[in-house]
Amino acid sequence: MGRSTPIEPLNRPLADGVVAVRSRRASDLPAIEAASHDPETLRWLDDTPMEPADRGTSLSRVEEAWRTGRAAPLVVADATTDEPVGIINLQFRDDAVATVAYSVFPAHRGRGIAPRAVQLLAGWALDGLGLTQLLLEAAEDNTASVRVAEKCGFERIASRVEPRAEGPHTMLVFACTKG
């Protein structure tokens, strides 16, 4: 899993006047850490909650993900204030395909931030990085995330049932393909 070459750092934010998608900074870490304990985020994402002790290594792990071509972890920020309002991440399968994953911090949900961020990231991935397909996976009962996929024009291409402690879980796979 991953790209055969490293990814060029994102030197300038991707922005649409409302939302910016940019590199992560040390000053973002307290907000990222607080949101990582949000029950909705824990319910739908596999990420381990972040503790204060993780702050020291967090940015070096981000840098390692970019350098090795494994992933591009980014922040979603308010385009006016630069305040972090969420996180978004591209996980590369290979040189052509990546999966997008995202979370908007609880206080900022319901304002169309995730669809804007996904569209900015999709433009960069497909036009800038030359990927041919972006995948987005959401649990069938994660209505908010399924709506994000639909509002961004992703098409449902597959589903799979995953075993979970609380019972089988259906994951929907959406795709946005260049061309």
Ligand X SMILES: CC(C)(COP(=O)(O)OP(=O)(O)OC[C@H]1O[C@@H](n2cnc3c(N)ncnc32)[C@H](O)[C@@H]1OP(=O)(O)O)[C@@H](O)C(=O)NCCC(=O)NCCS
The residue from 110, 167, 168, 179 that contacts ligand X (CB under 6 A) is 110
The residue from 66, 92, 102, 174 that contacts ligand X (CB under 6 A) is 102
The residue from 103, 134, 174, 176 that contacts ligand X (CB under 6 A) is 103
Nearer to ligand X, 5 or 46 (CB): 46
The residue from 55, 93, 109, 169 that contacts ligand X (CB under 6 A) is 109
- Decide: is 160 part of the binding site for ligand X (CB under 6 A): no
Distance CA(50)–CA(142), nearest Å, equals 22
The residue from 25, 37, 61, 147 that contacts ligand X (CB under 6 A) is 147
Which residues in 36-95 contact ligand X (CB under 6 A)? 40-41, 44-45
Distance CA(22)–CA(93), nearest Å, equals 21
Can you read off the two tokens belonging to residue 73? 């972890």
Reduced to 3 states, what is the DSSP secondary structure of residue 33? helix
Residue with tokens 């985020």: 41
Other C-beta atoms closer than 10 Å to the C-beta of 59 total 16
Residue with tokens 């792990």: 61
Buried b (16+ CB within 10 A) or exposed e, 26-50: eebbebbbebbebeebeebbeeeeb
Q: How far is the CB of 97 from ligand X (least distance, A)?
A: 17
- Decide: is 142 part of the binding site for ligand X (CB under 6 A): yes
The secondary structure of 163-179, three-state, reads CCCCCCEEEEEEEEECC
- Binding residues for ligand X, how many (CB under 6 A)? 21
- Decide: is 120 part of the binding site for ligand X (CB under 6 A): no
- Decide: is 131 part of the binding site for ligand X (CB under 6 A): no
CB 118 within 8 A of CB 84: no
- Decide: is 111 part of the binding site for ligand X (CB under 6 A): yes
List residues binding ligand X (CB under 6 A): 40-41, 44-45, 102-104, 109-115, 138, 142-145, 147-148
